[in-house]
Amino acid sequence: MRTGTASLPLHGGHCPPWLFERMQKLGAAIVEVIVREYGPQEVLRRLSDPFWFQAFGCVLGFDWHSSGLTTTLCGALKEGLKGREKDFGLVIAGGKGRVSRQTPREIEAAGERYALPLDASRLIQASRMAAKVDNTALQDGYQLYHHVFVFTFKGEWAVIQQGMNEQSRLARRYHWLSEEVRDFVCEPHSAICCDRRGQALNLVARESGRVRQVMAELACQKPDRVLVEFKRILESAALNMPWRHDIPRADYLNKALLKLYASQPQDFASVLGVEGVGPKTLRALAMVAEVAYGTPASFRDPVKYSFSHGGKDGHPYPVDRRLYDRSIAVLKKGLEEAKIGRTEKLQALKKLSQMYG
């Protein structure tokens, strides 16, 4: 997993309409260059790289220090590619808040609209698992409020999602890339970036492998047995464990355990997939697994991490509209000429990236 630091405080403000429109155009032009030169899969690779993603947002004119870079950049790309998905071989689904919950529907609709030879249910499952992992299996104090799922016509995908910590008002961004995901519940991220590190119940850490196995086994046991052990642990005066949040009530846990027992999950990924199983249930199972079976979970926080057109808030200098429009025009002209066999401008841009990249 790539690591580094990126500051994401929540004070970005709103993006002016004139800037957002230019972000759409320039973002789409840059993506088109990448697709033409390297193919749509390369776009996914770059979006999953937090350094490139952050730089891309700054090139388009957004604050380097704002969590709004994630939501506005993804929104601008989605709008910029809308209606041109066939040209790019890419689809962008999801977004911020309520829009994120439309992701499965948008994936299905794109598959039907373009008669794509892929299994939409597999992509929907990947989208849901990425969100469930970062909201439930990785309990780091950041609640997801933004989820974008980008996929190619061949079925490769990337996820960019972001969570917010209500107390610190900081955001944390999670990057996923399908070609790097070997196991949804074991070190699945390509990167996680945030300005602050803390304590996290990390059930997708490699060192949590044994506790994941024990939790899946506990989920298949009769709820009464697990509840007896759970209550015994809570009554122990010697209990002193670094749990981030409160342990659930026994009646709450009983309902979740009944659902798990009815589904008889085969592994930890299946446990996560059971509807109604949330962070509290996993904390309780992890606690029982550690105290009763000696399999502790990891509490390792997995997070680790200039401007070319100016920033919308005037730092490090105001956005130069004339320069911004000129950049869009140069890219568009280069792309138009490349379509008729004249590739000099794109070759020049490539040489510039080699010299100064």
- pLDDT tens for 253-276 read 999 999 999 999 999 999 999 998
pLDDT of 93 reads: 98
Q: Does residue 279 sit in helix, strand or coil? A: helix
Identify the pLDDT of residue 308: 45
pLDDT in tens, 132-159: 999 999 999 999 999 999 999 999 999 9
Cis peptide before 16 (omega within 30 of 0): no
Three-state helix/strand/coil letters over 71-99: HHHHHHHHHHHCCCHHHHCEEEEEEEHHH
Determine the pLDDT at residue 307: 39
Specify the pLDDT at position 319.
58
Torsion sign (Cα): 301, 305, 307, 308 = negative
2 contacts: CB under 8 Å, gap ≥ 6 = 49, 50, 51, 190, 191, 304
Supply the pLDDT for residue 59. 77
Closest CA relative to residue 202, chosen from 276, 129, 296, 126: 296
The ranges of the chain with pLDDT < 50 are 3-13, 244-245, 306-310, 315-316, 340, 352, 355-357
CA gap 198, 141 in Å, rounded: 9
What are the residue boundaries of the structural domains of the chain, listed by start? 17-200, 206-293
Tell me the two tokens of residue 271.
């446990």
Main-chain dihedrals φ then ψ at residue 33, nearest 5 degrees: -60, -45
DSSP symbol at 301: -
pLDDT at 322: 73
The pLDDT of residue 69:
85
Residue length of the chain: 357
